[in-house]
Amino acid sequence: MPIRIEDPFYDPTPRMQEDVNPFVGRLKQGILDGSLPAFFGPSLRDRKGTWQTHFEKQSLPAGSPVVVEIGSHKGDVLSSMASRHSDVGFVGMDITFKRVVTLADKAIASSLPNIVSILCNAKAMDQIFAQGELDGIVIFFPDPWIKKKRQQKNRLINQEFLEKIHSLLKPKGFLWFKTDHKPYFDDVCVSADRMFQTAETSSDSLWQDTYTSTFENKFLSQGLPTYEKVWMKPECE
């Protein structure tokens, strides 16, 4: 069940039955005994501005970049990025206990100390990350909310959210967006093109490699088109 509440420090577990959703108990225990690289609810408090330090404690070089994936799902894209870029800290964000635990399990199974998995509604990510703390944000195939016209207001990426992202990114930080939904893509481009510039690719750009997500694979296997763009926050504004 998705936890859509926007207070990232709220603990929904007292109202949940751990025998119905075994991932609730696993996440709580994994955080308590330190066996899972994950956080949710109260354990997310006071993390704002500390992510680089967190990854340094995991033996990443001082000053390592920090990249967030919103909607990290089963962690396939994030674990693949983390194994190719061992000197980058990756935070996966999702809204179900199962998905958060699945990514954390992958990080352990693949010995990737540069991954942290968090349960957080991306709408509240400015409570988890400080202004200018992030080097990159990846959003692949966010829920498009297309069944009814009025559902469009539920879309994650709108002008307000892009302004939030903009403030969390460092100058030259990137936003990498993919979707199968052309109207969503066009709307995001209209707003993002005003705030960001098209990213220039260099030899160490993370987005020059191919990372095909679970949803992307579904669309590709059906022969359906997908759309993507990478923007960069301008160095001087």
- Within 8 A by CB and 6+ apart from 59, the residues are 113
Handedness of CA 46, 48, 52, 55 (dihedral sign): positive
Tell me which stretch binds ligand SAM (CB under 6 A): 49-57, 70-78, 110-118, 165-173: 70-78
- Rule CB under 6 A: say whether 106 interacts with ligand SAM: no
Tell me which stretch binds ligand SAM (CB under 6 A): 18-26, 93-101, 160-168, 185-193: 93-101
Residue reference for tokens 């993002």:
192
- Rule CB under 6 A: say whether 93 interacts with ligand SAM: yes
126 among known catalytic residues:
no
Contact 195, 188 (CB under 8 A): no
Among 24, 44, 66, 70, binds ligand SAM (CB under 6 A): 70
State in Å, rounded, how far the first CA of the chain is from the last one: 41
Q: Which is nearer to ligand SAM, 43 or 56 (CB)?
A: 43
Size of site (CB under 6 A) for ligand SAM: 21
Instruction: Say which amino acid occupies 110.
Output: S
- Within 8 A by CB and 6+ apart from 211, the residues are 77, 80, 81, 140
Among 39, 141, 184, 231, binds ligand SAM (CB under 6 A): 141
- Rule CB under 6 A: say whether 73 interacts with ligand SAM: yes
Handedness of CA 58, 59, 63, 64 (dihedral sign): negative
For residue 143, the minimal CB distance to ligand SAM (Å) is 5
Tell me which stretch binds ligand SAM (CB under 6 A): 11-19, 25-33, 51-59, 210-218: 210-218
Q: How far apart are CA 135 and CA 137, in angstroms?
A: 7
Among 27, 36, 68, 94, binds ligand SAM (CB under 6 A): 94
> Which among 7, 143, 186, 193 is annotated as catalytic?
143
Residue 181 sits at the vertex; the CA angle it makes with 178 and 184, to the nearest 5 degrees, is 85
> What mask, x for binding ligand SAM by CB under 6 A, covers residues 143 to 182?
x------------x--------------------------
> What mask, x for binding ligand SAM by CB under 6 A, covers residues 212 to 231?
-xxxx---------------
- Within 8 A by CB and 6+ apart from 220, the residues are 212, 226
Question: How would you class 188 by CB atoms within 10 Å of its CB: exposed for 0-12, middle for 13-18, buried for 19 or more?
Answer: buried
> What mask, x for binding ligand SAM by CB under 6 A, covers residues 40 to 59?
--------------------
Residues found near ligand SAM in the complex (CB under 6 A):
2, 70-71, 73, 93-96, 99, 121-123, 140-143, 156, 213-216
Where in the sequence numbering do the catalytic residues fall? 143
